Amino acid sequence: MTSQSSETLGVLLSEGQIIPNMLATERWQAIEEIVSFLAEGGHLPKKEKENILAALFHREETMSTGIGFGVAIPHASSEAVDKIIVAFGRSQTGIEFESLDDKPVHFVVLFLVPSDQFQTHLKTLSAIAKFLNDRVTREALTNAHDAKDIMQILLREK
């Protein structure tokens, strides 16, 4: 299997993995909303949904993945996936995520990595955090009209 660690969010995502208007108001709901969306869209095996949620919830209980600046990056390793699975969700109203800066989250990038790809996991997490650390990028994502617009912004990722 080839490593996808050097690939950008724009490459790892498709419009079908973007939720432009999330309904969740708190972090557990947000994670469940995204995992359900991925399973319904055929990006995750439905039979593994509960195992995947358990892995994500376990990771989240260790420490919130709300990194600040309105961004959360819930992530986990899972034997249920054989490649990186990523989803992007945007909340206009904000999600209570117990973030490091105590501010609501507007962008959730959830990703799963195969259990045997620890380095890929770290590199993916780092790349996502670096990309969303840019204020101009976050403003563009806030102003995007739909999944297609969001996808165009993600494809411009450096």
The Cα–Cα gap between 31 and 42 comes to 17
Q: Is 75 a catalytic residue?
A: yes
Dihedral, CA atoms, 6, 67, 63, 35, nearest 10 degrees? -60
Residue 50 one-letter amino acid: E
Cβ-based burial of 50 (10 A; exposed 0-12, middle 13-18, buried ≥19): exposed
Beta bridge mates, 87: 110
The Cα–Cα gap between 55 and 49 comes to 10
Place of tokens 């709300």: 66
43, 58, 75, 121: which is the annotated catalytic residue? 75
Q: Which residues are catalytic?
A: 75
